[in-house]
């Protein structure tokens, strides 16, 4: 799991640190927060404490009786130190190796990479001292994100606005690539539902929300893989740093998956692909009719079979959602579709299936059947990725 120490310094944009914190958490990162004294004038530590679920670090000198040297311990903990927002003052201190508070002292005593998102008024940003300090940070290998142009706290508009929090989160997560255990691998994930038109205003679909596929894509990216997510329609926030291809129909999903599978090391098919589509798609809206109507459906191609048959040593993982005879059906499906692993979800279990954040699955490979307890979809994603990684090594 990506561990981020989020440093908040004392500018108006300190409140946007909350958005950065939430974004990092959404990506599954563990976040600890350190605040400067000035930052606490803008936002109460309690806000960050409640949202991060951890104490907020503010004091360089421990309370009486606490033997720990906090900045050293805190500096050893993160994979990444992210300072957002970074004031001109904190940038100046870091550029010159000053360490007179907990945040700057931790930065100086840590070996973790540092990302800095400056935020200040335009004149402050343009000042030669700030420019020199930012250049120094860049020369030391610190990564700078922004600032951007836009509305500033003073009411004016110009350069100096904190980079968009979502962009900061995406860049922070992408930095995980350097230490992730899947780094150098390319994984294609399909997720969500598909739709097939009946006429220009109606379509058929299913209940998949994409949560499982998005969890696999998110964790694979956080663990360093290059990830293509082929996603059906849905409302989920795309995971940061993945290459997202949006599709609607089975044939669109097939085309995107087949072309992405070229040059990749594994395919994880979580999408709930429609088995049927209307035989005829009406060009005009079908009129209401007192006798009702019968929808004539024909089977869609199961393109997973073709992909499995042509996998040439790449790993292919499929999902099975069964309501009865789960184990036997899933085992049959694994063989028929040339899958290395099939993940069986049982819709009858509570905490499993569509729309929820947990899942109850059984991993089935050639020999073994491994039932897993109820866990979050991110944890299920990790178990699948662990299995795939073991196959590669």
Q: Which of 366, 344, 256 is nearest to 307 (CA)?
A: 256
Give 168 or 268: the residue with its C-beta nearer to ligand FMN: 168
Q: List the one residue out of 180, 4, 138, 15 whose CA is nearest residue 83.
A: 4
Among 90, 134, 315, 380, binds ligand FMN (CB under 6 A): 90
Residues contacting 270, CB < 8 A, separation 6+: 189, 190, 191, 212, 213, 216, 319, 343
Choose which of 52, 58, 89, 209 interacts with ligand FMN (CB under 6 A): 89
Cβ proximity to ligand FMN, 98 vs 305, nearer residue: 98
Rounded to the nearest 5 percent, the helix, strand and coil shares of the chain are 35, 25, 40
Q: 376 forms bridges with which residues in the sheet? A: 358
Euclidean distance between CA atoms 54 and 34, whole angstroms: 11
169: Cα within 13 Å, side-chain hemisphere = 25
From 340, 344, 363, 364, select the one nearest 352 (Cα to Cα): 344
* Binds ligand FMN (CB under 6 A): choice among 2, 5, 7, 10: 10
Distance CA 44, CA 270 (A): 42
- Contact 339/308 with Cβ under 8 angstroms? yes
CB of 39 to ligand FMN, least distance (A): 5
Asked if 9 touches ligand FMN (CB under 6 A), the answer is: yes
- Told to judge if 206 belongs to the known catalytic residues of this protein, a careful annotator would answer yes
Q: Which of 2, 6, 11, 334 binds ligand FMN (CB under 6 A)?
A: 11
Q: Does 38 bind ligand FMN (CB under 6 A)?
A: yes
For ligand FMN, the closer of residues 83 and 216 by Cβ is 83
Position 194 contacts ligand FMN (CB under 6 A)? no
Give the pair of three-digit tokens for residue 90.
Answer: 């904190």
Indicate whether 300 belongs to the interface with ligand FMN (CB under 6 A): no
- Of 8-16, 68-76, 218-226, 337-345, the window that binds ligand FMN (rule: CB under 6 A) is 8-16
Are 239 and 246 in contact by the 8 Å Cβ rule? The answer is no
Which range of residues in 5-13, 187-195, 229-237, 375-383 is near ligand FMN by CB under 6 A?
5-13
Nearer Cβ to ligand FMN, position 100 or 296? 100
- List 96, 133, 206, 235, catalytic entry: 206
Tokens of 211: 């949560």
Distances (CA, A) of 323 to 269, 280, 345, 348: 19, 30, 9, 6
Give the residue closest to ligand FMN by C-beta. Answer: 11
Interface with ligand FMN includes 308 (CB under 6 A)? no
The minimum distance between CB 302 and ligand FMN, in angstroms, equals: 56
Biggest CA-to-CA distance, the chain: 83
Residue among 6, 39, 114, 307 that touches ligand FMN (CB under 6 A): 39
Binding mask 109-138 for ligand FMN (x = CB under 6 A): ----------xx---x--------------
Check binding of 12 to ligand FMN (CB under 6 A).
yes
- Least distance in Å: CB of 158 to ligand FMN? 12
Decide whether 89 or 133 has the Cβ nearer to ligand FMN.
89
User: Closest CB to ligand FMN among 11 and 318?
Assistant: 11
- CA distances 322 to 75, 193, 209, 328, Å, are 48, 16, 17, 10
The β-bridge partners of 304 are none
Q: In this chain, which stretch among 52-60, 86-94, 203-211, 311-319 interacts with ligand FMN, using CB under 6 A?
A: 86-94
291: tokens are: 């006798």
Nearer to ligand FMN, 153 or 201 (CB): 153
* H-state helical runs in 10-52: 16-26, 39-42, 45-52
Active site residues: 206
Contacting positions for ligand FMN (CB under 6 A): 9-13, 36, 38-39, 87-90, 119-120, 124, 153
């Amino acid at each position: 799991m990506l561990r981020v120490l989020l440093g908040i310094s004392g500018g108006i944009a300190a409140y946007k640190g909350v958005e950065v914190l939430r974004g990092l958490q959404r990506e599954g990162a563990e976040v600890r927060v350190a605040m400067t004294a000035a930052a606490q004038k803008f936002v109460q530590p309690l806000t960050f404490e409640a949202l991060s679920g951890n104490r907020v670090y503010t004091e360089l000198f421990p309370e009486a009786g606490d033997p720990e040297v906090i900045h050293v311990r805190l500096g050893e903990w993160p994979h990444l130190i992210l300072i957002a927002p970074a004031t001109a003052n904190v940038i100046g201190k870091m550029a010159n190796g000053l360490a007179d508070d907990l945040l700057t002292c931790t930065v100086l005593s840590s070996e973790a990479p540092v990302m800095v998102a400056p935020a200040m008024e335009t004149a402050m940003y343009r000042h030669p001292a700030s420019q020199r300090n930012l250049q120094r940070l860049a020369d030391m290998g610190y990564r700078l994100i922004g600032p951007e142009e836009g509305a500033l706290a003073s009411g004016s508009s110009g350069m100096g606005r904190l980079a968009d929090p979502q962009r900061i989160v995406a860049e922070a997560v992408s930095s995980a690539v350097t230490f992730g255990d899947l780094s150098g691998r390319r994984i294609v994930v399909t997720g969500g539902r598909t739709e097939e038109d009946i006429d220009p205003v109606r379509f058929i679909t299913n209940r998949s929300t994409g949560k499982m596929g998005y969890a696999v894509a998110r964790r694979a990216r956080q663990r360093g893989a290059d990830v293509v997510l082929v996603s059906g329609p849905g409302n989920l926030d795309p995971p940061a740093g993945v290459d997202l291809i949006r599709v609607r129909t089975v044939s669109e999903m097939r085309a995107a998956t087949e072309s992405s599978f070229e040059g990749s090391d594994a395919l994880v098919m979580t999408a709930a692909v429609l088995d049927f589509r209307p035989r005829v798609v009406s060009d005009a809206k079908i009129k209401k009719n007192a006798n009702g109507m019968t929808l004539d459906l024909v089977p869609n191609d199961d393109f997973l079979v073709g992909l499995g048959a042509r996998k040439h040593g790449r790993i292919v993982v499929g999902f099975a959602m069964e309501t009865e005879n789960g184990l036997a059906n899933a085992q049959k499906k694994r063989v028929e579709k040339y899958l290395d692993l099939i993940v069986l979800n049982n819709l009858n279990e509570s905490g499993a299936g569509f729309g929820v954040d947990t899942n109850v699955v059984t991993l089935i490979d050639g020999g073994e059947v491994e039932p897993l307890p109820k866990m979050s979809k991110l944890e299920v994603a990790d178990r699948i990725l662990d299995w795939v990684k073991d196959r590669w090594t």
